[in-house]
Chains A and B, each alone.
Chain A
Amino acid sequence: MKKFLVGLLFIGLAFLLLINFAELPEEKLITFSLSDYYIGFGLEQTGALNLVTAILYDYRGFDSLGESTVIFAAVSGIVLILSRKMLPVSSHGLSFIVKRTLGILTPFIALFSLYVITHGHLTPGGGFQGGVILAAISIIFSIVYGSAFDYKRYSPELKTTFETGGALVFIIIGGLGILFDGFFLDNLDFLTHSPGTLISAGSIPLINIGIGFKVGAGLAIVFYSMIQKTFGEEF
């Protein structure tokens, strides 16, 4: 019965999606729409070359706060569900050659992630993407060196500190906005120099750095919790 109803819904949905979605209008109804405003004034108002970043961290910065809170909530939930008071059972990792190669490569991966994070307002990228690359280092470490290696190097306490610290940095920068310009998450105007330089675009790079470390640490915690031998109780 349930599956039959769902099937009916299915056909209706196919009809809806195919027939009606194709009728999207070419022009938006509002003559001066959101995108016109952002494209027209984005550079001079925020100082960011990358308009997507300008929207994400300045015009709609509150969305990004909510978004990073979603990641924070997911991490908290995963740790809540999978937490066991057990040391991880480590695999031995891959061969010597792979370990050495990774050792040489790691600084470059870290550098690339830092580049993506700090140049969010100039080039494609930003805190979220760079943060995921940062987390990838942790993931590769636990694959290549075995899961205990990462645990010894970067303890869960350190990761937690980075994660919550990053989120708090976001809120503190927002609070600075109240202090200097009168509104929460206001772009800090005194940091805006000529567009195109690294330190421009007001608070956007700072927020990017906060989010980058937060996302990196958070996703590392997620991966680490998921590879933990959570059913080690038997042995």
Chain B
Amino acid sequence: MISISILLLIIIPLVVAFLIPLLDLYNKLLRRYLVIIGGVIEISISIYIIISYFSDLKAGKFFLTYYLGGWGPPFGINLVMDSVSLIFSSLISFALFFIIIYSIGFIGHHEGKYYVLFFLILGAMQGAILTGDMFNLYVFIELLTVTSAPLVAFKRNKHATEAAIKYMFYGVIGGLFFFVGVILLYFNIGSLNMAQLAQHFAEIENNMQLTIISIFLIGLLIKIGIFPFHFWLPKAHSACPSSLSALLSGVLLKVYLYIFIRLFWIVIGFEFLLEFNIASFLVYLALVSSLFGHVFALQASDIKRMLAFSSIGHIGMILAVFLLNTETGFYGGLLHIISHLLMKTGLFLSTGYLLQYTKSNHIDDFAGVGHQNKGIFVGFILLTLSMIGMPPFIGFFSKWYIIMAFLKIQHHFGAIVVVLGSLSAVFYYLRFIAKGYEKIKLSASDLKNEIYNRPILSVFYREKLVTTVIYIFVGMIILTGFSFRLFELPLQEGIKELINPQNYINLILGG
């Protein structure tokens, strides 16, 4: 079904980003309203899509498309939204809306460029998820790199700039490999449309198939941050302001995961990964990466670094469970993508709030934070409990399905890694919680000293907004924990699509 609403999901953020500098020339106060209006429009389009096509979703034939320039699928660029993209796209609209609200209270300087880049990231994410064209996907991946790198350096100190340089080098090399892969696909098949590439990929000769797969794998593993290429991730995700860490770690990694899924389940069929025995190797690579992430998180004394390493652990786990290529695996993986997005975003946002009351990110400065901000710290604890996998929260259910998926096909190493990861998570979160409730006695001079030592960033503009957003995320993990069956319908539809990619090809090419 042709629908313009999926185009608007990409265009609206771009228009907002282009308008902000123009508006700044006249009046800087209007900017905040424009930003909020942009966020509201974006999220309302998402809600509109869900509501008006809900009957289609129920009937199992949810499929939206748009032809850019009016050129039909094989010859022009087309946008596609199926059930998997629906999950990711609406999650991103939702999460980024709240991060925007949080930023309004949180970011104090250089707001104009911050929001420009933020909305460009939003548009690029939606574009990377919705596009049905390989080269267009490459353009959006590069756009993601170019927009997120200056935001990594946003704090403008030595640490952040180093992180940005490292991020940029890895990002550009990953993008270059992706470019080579796209070009190889074009030279062999003669098309750039994902459905047509999927149709003809089996006809390429074996050696070339292997080459294409390995080129794409190098590019995407760099972008996702799996073990041999993960060096950029913890630095980049911990150097920026917390709202951006939430964006990068909570949301952006999922976009790359989505691209991985889209590429290796639909464009390049999964049977080729099995044929060349790459799949089982990748499962172990992802699990080792997960283990590494959790182990490094144990020894990190900087809270944001710890959270970033924990992200490596979780992303490796999700990738491994997807690569099992079973129905339970997809269910657990997709559910954990949702839950990790909620939990990690919430954790980074609440950490951002708590860190305003400390001198640095180091664990020793974390002492006594729990007494100063009681409500937020309780929220922080609930989020960590969900991260560990305590029953009433969503984290438990998604981890449960992941372990089930591993056990179902007798993959004991995977199950052990998941359990070990949760156990180590207990330790590394408990260290910070215990430190937060430590009793400290401050003399008057100490207090004065601490206030003067605070970083410049620690000025809250609207504290109420910040805390409200954090409470919303805490509420979300509790609510979705009790009612995670709400996601049942889109998840099942998405799983059907992943198991049967031929369906996608038929819908686009009309065969």
Within 8 Å by CB, do A and B touch in the complex?
yes
Within the complex, what minimum Cβ distance (angstroms) separates B164 from chain A?
Answer: 8
Interface membership of B400, Cβ < 8 A: no
Partner of B189, one of A30, A73, A157: A30
Could you name 9 residue pairs across A and B whose Cβ atoms are closer than 8 Å?
A25-B188, A33-B189, A59-B77, A60-B76, A63-B135, A73-B143, A80-B110, A177-B69, A182-B70
Interface membership of A104, Cβ < 8 A: no
Interface membership of B190, Cβ < 8 A: yes
Within the complex, what minimum Cβ distance (angstroms) separates A74 from chain B?
Answer: 5
Which parts of B116-159 form the interface with A (CB within 8 Å)? Answer: 116-117, 120, 123-124, 127, 133, 135-136, 139-140, 142-143, 146-147, 149-151, 153-154, 156
> B189 near A160 (CB under 8 angstroms)?
no
> A63 near B117 (CB under 8 angstroms)?
no
Q: A24-B188, A73-B120, A73-B146 are in contact. List 5 more A-B contacts (CB 8 A).
A: A30-B190, A59-B77, A61-B69, A72-B18, A181-B70
Which parts of A52-85 form the interface with B (CB within 8 Å)? Answer: 58-63, 65-67, 69-70, 72-74, 76-81, 83
CA distance A66 to B77 in the complex (A): 12
> A81 near B190 (CB under 8 angstroms)?
no
> B25 near A161 (CB under 8 angstroms)?
yes
Nearest to B156 among chain A residues (CB) is A81
Set of chain A residues within 8 Å of B156, measured between Cβ atoms: 81
> A33 near B191 (CB under 8 angstroms)?
yes
Interface membership of A16, Cβ < 8 A: yes
CA distance A120 to B228 in the complex (A): 45
CA distance A44 to B102 in the complex (A): 52
Interface membership of B374, Cβ < 8 A: no
CA distance A77 to B165 in the complex (A): 13
We find that the number of chain B residues with CB closer than 8 angstroms to chain A is 66
Interface membership of A28, Cβ < 8 A: yes
Interface membership of A20, Cβ < 8 A: yes
Partner of B113, one of A16, A80, A182, A186: A80
> A66 near B140 (CB under 8 angstroms)?
yes
Contact with B along A93-133 (1 / 0, CB 8 A): 00000000000000000000000000000000000000000
Set of chain B residues within 8 Å of A183, measured between Cβ atoms: 66-70
> B22 near A24 (CB under 8 angstroms)?
no
Set of chain A residues within 8 Å of B203, measured between Cβ atoms: 29
Nearest to A45 among chain B residues (CB) is B71
Nearest to B153 among chain A residues (CB) is A81
B-contacting 9-mer, from A134-142, A146-154, A163-171: A163-171
A-contacting 9-mer, from B205-213, B245-253, B358-366: B205-213
Nearest to B67 among chain A residues (CB) is A183
CA distance A38 to B71 in the complex (A): 12
What 10 A-B pairs have minimum CB-CB distances, sorted nearest first?
A33-B190, A77-B150, A28-B190, A183-B70, A66-B139, A80-B113, A20-B211, A30-B190, A185-B69, A73-B147
Set of chain B residues within 8 Å of A167, measured between Cβ atoms: 14, 18
Set of chain B residues within 8 Å of A20, measured between Cβ atoms: 207-208, 210-211
> A184 near B68 (CB under 8 angstroms)?
yes
CA distance A77 to B154 in the complex (A): 9
Interface membership of A187, Cβ < 8 A: yes
Set of chain B residues within 8 Å of A30, measured between Cβ atoms: 189-191, 196, 200
Set of chain B residues within 8 Å of A77, measured between Cβ atoms: 113, 117, 146-147, 149-151
- The interface of chain A, by Cβ under 8 A from chain B, is 2, 5, 16, 20-21, 23-25, 28-30, 33-38, 58-63, 65-67, 69-70, 72-74, 76-81, 83, 157, 160-161, 163-165, 167-168, 171, 174, 177-178, 181-187
Set of chain B residues within 8 Å of A33, measured between Cβ atoms: 189-191
Which parts of B262-314 form the interface with A (CB within 8 Å)? Answer: none
| In the complex with contacts A16-B211, A69-B123, A80-B150 CB distance below 8 A | yes
Interface membership of B392, Cβ < 8 A: no
- Most A C-beta atoms less than 10 A away, residue of B75, B76, B190, B207: B190
> A171 near B70 (CB under 8 angstroms)?
no
Partner of A62, one of B77, B114, B116: B77
Interface membership of B105, Cβ < 8 A: no
Set of chain B residues within 8 Å of A21, measured between Cβ atoms: 184, 211
Within the complex, what minimum Cβ distance (angstroms) separates B291 from chain A?
Answer: 17
Set of chain B residues within 8 Å of A63, measured between Cβ atoms: 77, 135-136, 139
CA distance A20 to B204 in the complex (A): 13
Within the complex, what minimum Cβ distance (angstroms) separates A108 from chain B?
Answer: 31
Partner of B228, one of A5, A23, A83: A5
Set of chain B residues within 8 Å of A35, measured between Cβ atoms: 190
Within the complex, what minimum Cβ distance (angstroms) separates B443 from chain A?
Answer: 36
Partner of A186, one of B70, B110, B139, B214: B70
CA distance A79 to B113 in the complex (A): 8
Set of chain A residues within 8 Å of B66, measured between Cβ atoms: 183-184
- Most B C-beta atoms less than 10 A away, residue of A28, A62, A72, A187: A62
Set of chain B residues within 8 Å of A25, measured between Cβ atoms: 187-188, 205, 208
Interface membership of B459, Cβ < 8 A: no
| In the complex with contacts A76-B117, A183-B70, A164-B77 CB distance below 8 A | no
Partner of A178, one of B4, B124, B204: B4
Nearest to A171 among chain B residues (CB) is B15
- Most B C-beta atoms less than 10 A away, residue of A2, A60, A177, A185: A60
> A62 near B136 (CB under 8 angstroms)?
yes
- Most A C-beta atoms less than 10 A away, residue of B113, B156, B205, B231: B113
Set of chain A residues within 8 Å of B228, measured between Cβ atoms: 5
CA distance A77 to B68 in the complex (A): 28
Contact with A along B81-123 (1 / 0, CB 8 A): 0000000000000000000000000000010011011001001
Interface membership of B21, Cβ < 8 A: yes
- Most B C-beta atoms less than 10 A away, residue of A29, A38, A59, A73: A73
- Most B C-beta atoms less than 10 A away, residue of A5, A33, A35, A67: A33
Partner of A59, one of B75, B142, B211: B75
| In the complex with contacts A61-B68, A164-B22, A69-B120 CB distance below 8 A | yes
Interface membership of B11, Cβ < 8 A: yes
> A60 near B110 (CB under 8 angstroms)?
no
Which parts of B1-51 form the interface with A (CB within 8 Å)? Answer: 4, 7, 11, 14-15, 17-19, 21-22, 25
Partner of B21, one of A37, A67, A163, A181: A163
> A184 near B208 (CB under 8 angstroms)?
no
Within the complex, what minimum Cβ distance (angstroms) separates B434 from chain A?
Answer: 34
Partner of B139, one of A28, A37, A67: A67
